[in-house]
């Protein structure tokens, strides 16, 4: 068969799978989960655009309520004769396991494409490893691995071809993020070529054998102990043939493409002595290492596992060099308690009774949760095999100073092919840096003969967090599946990063550094750390600056400076001729923004021109070479030693982008995943461009600004004369309305503000003049000390008594116990959650569904849920996505059980007659307020004091008091809350939510109704309105929004409210208070439009959802006045 020429295109692994899978799919049953959602979304978009599969039809795409539902739909669709596909990862794949067993047992040719991802254990992680796919190795499904986006395209076809011909389901997997989201220039299948190698007889056989009333049969029966075993063994012949079917399909692909895909592929020296066996993206880097080592006289190799199930030992032995003396098996997983990791055990079994049965086989773990694994790490594996005292069980990529398993990897070598240009970009989440870099890769990959690679690393914040883009371009194929650590070009798109991160450490001698700032040379000398200045000067770095923020404001793009900086990148690197680069960028801008109108397109055209014109070369002052040492950064301090230790030992290194360097011992105290509350207050990220400035002369003391602030950075304070006199000199304050003996102040935590502007938008001001205006952050830095001072002052009882928490104004004098989260600027979700913590945070259990709210609420290293001056605060926990209601109910039941036990003790004390009258009255007050969380807290505190005296008695009452006091922290009524988004409550977790509401228990549910799956990128949910366009609804949602509130109301005993905080502050506050005070289940649905995934028609340019609701409220009030 003649080798075909295929079209090249720049895409990631998910895109590749989406393209190839569409060809073989009749039906796609889908559900979103990171990092696999892109595959399903691509298929949906293709179908909406009218693309035809190999059968001349558009794929029938249906979004299910969960992965378990998607697997059930796949199973049923296959049973009825449609070739069916789904896409998933991690916990989603585990939810499919029961159906995978069924599909394998019934010989159904479905394909599950998996962006392999970490499973939640002590913590959740969305990043990649093989824990999920290994959990499926016993299901009977075939398992096929791809190592890069090109293999996703090629072997994705093999998975479908072999499933059809082999009559067996296939799990086709590849590394989440490292492969699923890595952009590469690859060759793309033409569907006609796929048609040529499809076994059409097998397709027709599948359809003719389908379940059908025209020729009925009974399937899925129950069998007893007399025949089940034999029937199960009858499948052996199918599995014995399956590996041969896969090899045959690989040969068909090889014949078309000129490739050499096999169940196992060998790479390296023909006479290799030391060989690594592995699967996944790490193999790409190992190949680079092999080229480097063998060129330097070593004899090493690699066996890449492609067909993991069925595992055929002979195929492995066929490619093993006869000269091999030692083998190291690398597993990207951890199975605690096992005698060995899965692939290692398979290899041991395969080598037994072979010519290699006596060679040493070592076991290594690597790359959990996408842990970056460098060439030096893999070199350490080969060195370990050469050692006279090798470690038989080891880890790489980390420093294990506890169990001493890690291999040292101190070498800093560059194994990328010569001629490769490596680039690194430090950006701010949502500033457009990642999007611009993806465009750059596509421009270069699709318009030149160069190879291109792009990978994007993110921190755990939402928009506003750190992004680091790793780009490579060159004339040779790029196999570098690790971070750029020898860069030719580095760009820093946020000037606040220069003293937070070691930005230039990976820049090669003579490399180019671009800094987005408006600083002169004198100002650069002042603002840049000495370490950076010295490195630039001593390594002949070509240093350039551009004031992207200024250009963006002048053009009208605001903070979206990505196009400006992209243009500067092309000019400085010269990867493409400048004129051609400008032309291609403008074509890309028109394609990206054309539907937004000519004005937006022209803005981007001007940004491209200005980016190329306004970049300035910095003449390096000679004194930079002699720059001294920087002052060491201050350590955190405070009374809470547990919190301070965590901040200094974990949070600060992680936030400095040095988490990869932390040893295992740093986490011994946190091995179970529990971390102290309140660490977010130590971050002080300083990411805003503009922050609010208070103008007291225009303030009416309404506290609206504090009420709408999503991050609790703007607060109102009541202070007395003494506190005012001791305050920082520049603190502004005015007489407090209603309490003339007190002063009123508004303060802003400048370094925690995200600059969303919701406070300034909502501020009514006086006589048309705002009391809050947005000012450049540099002008407000001195205000931070004012906020820090006021935050330490006690909250005044007279203020709390005057302004009740049942009022909007009064609620904002209460301490928020959700502060400085990593949520997007303008987030509506945090505004609700913050308010709830102001009311109930000091006695609150919070079960949080996985999603946006669990990421801004509990992503390492920061913890935004805090504690009050008594150490009481929000007890927050996350289980999974689908089970949050049940998880929260469990908390409620535990509290009920513990309190009932303790209640029985105090009732016995009361009945014993041994307690004093005061003690009896205290106990009675406790019992009378037993179900009121607010009153019972005070009653409990009083009773505990009395019981401490009773406990001194050696009587029965004293014994009961001592038993009670052992668990005194469980005595008071706690406020039980469950929070999550509409993906949880309307879809995957609805069954559990319905059951919990029906239980009648005293629990409170708050739904953040974003009307899409926000955390996974904006997929349609049952909360999405009819006609809305979102991912998984490319044609627009056909059905109306589910009325969750009406469904809950049907029980007749569930409190239900719907709120929109920006539309009516009072109604929102009242609903929350009523829900919590109701002794039974409550459901509050809070409208929470998301800033990122969905374009709301009411949103104006650069307007956040918080802006939207605030503006609509003001417009509503203006209309009322008219």
- Residues marked active site are found at 34, 67, 117, 1015
CA distances in angstroms from 590 to 144, 169, 601, listed in the order given = 40, 43, 6
What is the per-residue DSSP string for 639-666?
A: S-HHHHHHIIIIIHHHHTT-GGG--GGG
Q: Of 2, 6, 54, 51, nearest to 26 (Cα)?
A: 54
Q: What angle do CA 394, 396, 402 make, to 5 degrees?
A: 65
DSSP code at position 677: T
Instruction: Give me the phi and psi of 783, to 5 degrees please.
Output: -70, -15
Q: Of 191, 145, 164, nearest to 308 (Cα)?
A: 145
Give the span between the Cα atoms of 802 and 822, in whole angstroms.
33
- Tokens found for residue 1040: 């109306």
Instruction: Quote the strand ranges of 720-789, DSSP E.
Output: 734-736, 739-748, 772-776
Q: Of 40, 42, 51, nearest to 111 (Cα)?
A: 40
Q: Of 578, 420, 395, 628, nearest to 508 (Cα)?
A: 420
- Tokens found for residue 277: 């066996």
- Tokens found for residue 1118: 């203006």
CA distances in angstroms from 686 to 515, 691, 748, listed in the order given = 17, 10, 12
- Tokens found for residue 341: 């990791």
Give the span between the Cα atoms of 65 and 773, in whole angstroms.
44
Burial class from Cβ neighbours inside 10 Å (0-12, 13-18, 19+) for residue 1040 reads exposed
Q: How remote is the C-alpha of 817 from its chain's centroid?
A: 23
3-class secondary-structure state, position 963: helix
Instruction: Give me the phi and psi of 361, to 5 degrees please.
Output: -125, 120
- Tokens found for residue 209: 């054998």
Q: Which residues lie closer than 8 Å to 609 by C-beta, 6 or more apart?
A: 567, 582
DSSP-H helix ranges across 114-190: 131-134, 149-166
Give the span between the Cα atoms of 268 and 286, in whole angstroms.
10
Sheet holding 274-278: strands in order across? 264-268, 300-305, 274-278, 326-331, 361-365, 393-395
Place of tokens 């378990």: 68
Q: Which residues lie closer than 8 Å to 744 by C-beta, 6 or more apart?
A: 699, 701, 716, 717, 718, 733, 734, 735, 736, 737
Give the span between the Cα atoms of 1103 and 145, in whole angstroms.
44
For the chain, the residue count is 1122
Cβ proximity of 636 and 647 under 8 Å: yes
3-class secondary-structure state, position 1037: coil
Q: Which H or E run includes 291?
A: helix 282-295
Q: Can you name the residues that pair with 423 across neighbouring β-strands? A: 471, 489
Give the span between the Cα atoms of 31 and 89, in whole angstroms.
10
DSSP code at position 1042: P
Q: Which H or E run includes 1110?
A: helix 1105-1121
Place of tokens 């070498």: 411
Give the span between the Cα atoms of 1099 and 951, in whole angstroms.
62
Q: What angle do CA 981, 881, 99 make, to 5 degrees?
A: 130
Give the span between the Cα atoms of 639 and 815, in whole angstroms.
19
3-class secondary-structure state, position 110: coil
């Amino acid at each position: 068969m003649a080798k075909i020429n295929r079209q090249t295109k720049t895409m990631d692994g998910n895109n590749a799978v989406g393209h190839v899978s569409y060809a073989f799919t009749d039906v796609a049953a889908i559900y979103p989960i990171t990092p696999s959602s892109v595959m399903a979304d691509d298929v949906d978009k293709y179908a909406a655009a009218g693309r035809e599969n190999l059968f001349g039809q558009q794929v029938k795409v249906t979004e299910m309520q969960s992965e378990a539902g998607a697997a059930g739909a796949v199973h049923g669709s296959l049973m009825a004769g449609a070739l069916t596909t789904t896409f998933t990862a991690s916990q989603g794949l585990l939810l499919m396991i029961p159906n995978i067993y069924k599909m394998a047992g019934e010989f159904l040719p479905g394909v599950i494409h998996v962006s392999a991802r970490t499973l939640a254990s002590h913590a959740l992680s969305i990043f990649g490893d093989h824990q999920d796919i290994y959990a499926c190795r016993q299901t009977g499904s075939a398992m096929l691995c791809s190592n890069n986006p090109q293999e996703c395209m090629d072997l994705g076809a093999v998975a479908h071809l072999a499933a059809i011909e082999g009559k067996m389901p296939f799990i086709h997997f590849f590394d989440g993020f490292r492969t699923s989201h890595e952009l590469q220039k690859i060759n793309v299948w033409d569907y006609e070529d796929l048609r040529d190698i499809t076994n059409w007889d097998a397709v027709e056989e599948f359809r003719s054998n389908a379940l059908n009333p025209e020729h009925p049969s009974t399937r899925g029966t129950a069998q007893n102990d007399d025949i089940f075993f034999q029937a199960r063994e009858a499948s052996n012949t199918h599995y014995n043939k399956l590996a041969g079917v896969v090899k045959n399909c690989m040969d068909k692909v090889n014949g078309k493409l000129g490739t050499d895909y096999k169940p196992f592929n060998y790479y390296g020296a023909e006479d290799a002595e030391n060989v690594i066996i592995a699967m996944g993206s790490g193999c790409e880097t190992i190949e680079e290492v092999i080229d480097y080592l063998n060129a330097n006289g070593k004899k090493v190799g690699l066996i890449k596992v492609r067909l993991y199930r069925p595992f055929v030992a002979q195929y492995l032995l066929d490619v093993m060099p006869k000269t091999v003396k030692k083998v190291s098996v690398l597993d990207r997983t951890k199975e605690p308690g096992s005698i060995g990791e899965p692939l290692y055990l398979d290899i041991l079994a395969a080598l037994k009774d072979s010519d290699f049965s006596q060679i040493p086989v070592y076991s290594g773990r690597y790359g959990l949760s996408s842990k970056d694994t460098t060439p030096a790490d893999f070199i350490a594996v080969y060195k370990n095999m050469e050692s006279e005292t090798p470690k038989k069980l080891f880890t790489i990529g980390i420093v294990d100073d506890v169990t001493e398993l890690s291999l040292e990897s101190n070498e800093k070598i560059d194994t990328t092919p010569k001629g490769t240009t490596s680039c690194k970009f430090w950006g701010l989440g949502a500033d457009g840096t990642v999007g611009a870099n993806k465009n750059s890769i596509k421009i270069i990959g699709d318009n030149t003969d160069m190879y291109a690679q792009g990978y994007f690393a993110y921190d755990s914040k939402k928009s506003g967090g750190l992004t680091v883009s790793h780009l490579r371009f060159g004339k040779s194929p790029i196999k570098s599946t690790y971070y750029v650590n020898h860069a030719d070009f580095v760009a820093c798109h946020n000037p606040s990063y220069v003293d937070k991160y070691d930005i230039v450490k990976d820049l090669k001698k003579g490399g180019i550094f671009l800094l987005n700032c408006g600083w002169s040379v004198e100002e650069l000398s002042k603002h840049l750390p000495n370490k950076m200045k010295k490195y630039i000067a001593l390594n002949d770095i070509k240093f350039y600056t551009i004031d992207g923020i200024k250009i963006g404001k002048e053009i009208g793009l605001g903070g979206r400076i990505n196009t400006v900086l992209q243009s500067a990148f092309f000019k400085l690197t010269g990867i493409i001729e400048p004129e051609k680069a400008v032309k291609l960028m403008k074509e890309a801008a028109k394609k990206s923004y054309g539907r937004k109108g000519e004005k937006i397109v022209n803005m981007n055209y001007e940004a491209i021109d200005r980016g190329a014109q306004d970049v300035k070369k910095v003449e390096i002052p000679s004194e930079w070479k002699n720059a001294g040492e920087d002052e060491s950064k201050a350590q955190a301090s405070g009374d809470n030693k547990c919190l301070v230790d965590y901040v200094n030992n974990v949070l600060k290194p992680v936030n400095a982008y040095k988490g990869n360097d932390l040893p295992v011992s740093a986490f011994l105290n946190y091995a179970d995943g529990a971390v102290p509350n309140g660490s977010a207050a130590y971050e002080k990220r300083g990411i805003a461009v503009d922050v609010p400035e208070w103008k007291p002369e225009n303030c009416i003391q309404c506290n609206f600004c504090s009420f709408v602030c999503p991050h609790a950075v703007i607060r109102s304070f009541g202070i007395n004369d003494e506190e005012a006199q001791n305050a920082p000199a520049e603190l502004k304050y005015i007489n407090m309305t209603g309490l003339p003996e007190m002063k009123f102040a508004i303060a802003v935590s400048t370094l925690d503000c995200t600059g969303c502007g919701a406070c300034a938008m909502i501020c009514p001001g006086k006589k048309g003049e705002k009391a809050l205006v947005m000012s450049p952050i540099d002008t407000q830095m001195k205000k931070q000390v004012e906020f820090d001072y006021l935050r330490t002052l006690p909250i005044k009882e007279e203020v709390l008594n005057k302004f009740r928490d049942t009022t909007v104004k009064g609620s904002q004098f209460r301490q928020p116990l959700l502060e400085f989260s990593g949520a997007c600027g303008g987030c509506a979700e945090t505004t609700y959650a913050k308010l709830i913590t102001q009311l109930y945070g000091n006695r609150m259990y919070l079960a949080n569904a996985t999603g946006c709210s669990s990421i801004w609420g509990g992503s390492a290293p920061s913890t935004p849920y805090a504690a009050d001056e008594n150490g009481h605060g929000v007890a927050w926990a996350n289980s999974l996505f689908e089970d949050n209601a049940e998880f929260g109910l469990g908390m409620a039941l535990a509290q009920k059980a513990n309190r009932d036990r303790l209640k029985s003790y105090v009732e016995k004390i009361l009945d014993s007659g041994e307690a004093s009258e005061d003690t009896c009255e205290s106990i009675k007050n406790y019992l009378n307020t037993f179900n009121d969380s607010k009153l019972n807290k005070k009653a409990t505190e009083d009773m505990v004091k009395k019981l401490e005296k009773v406990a001194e008695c050696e009587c029965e009452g004293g014994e009961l008091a001592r038993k009670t006091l052992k668990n005194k922290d469980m005595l008071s009524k706690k406020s039980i809350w469950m929070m999550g988004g509409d993906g949880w409550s309307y879809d995957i977790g609805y069954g559990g939510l319905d059951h919990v509401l029906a239980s009648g228990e005293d629990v409170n549910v708050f739904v953040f109704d974003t009307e899409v799956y926000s955390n996974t990128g904006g997929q349609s949910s049952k909360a999405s309105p009819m006609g809305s366009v979102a991912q998984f609804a490319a044609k627009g949602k056909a059905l109306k929004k589910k009325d969750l509130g009406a469904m809950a109301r049907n029980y007749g005993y569930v409190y239900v409210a719907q709120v929109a905080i920006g539309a009516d502050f009072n109604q929102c506050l009242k609903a929350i208070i009523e829900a919590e005070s109701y002794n039974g289940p409550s459901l509050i649905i809070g409208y929470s439009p998301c800033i990122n995934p969905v374009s709301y028609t009411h949103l104006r340019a650069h307007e956040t959802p918080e802006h939207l609701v605030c503006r609509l409220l003001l417009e509503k009030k203006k209309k009322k006045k008219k």
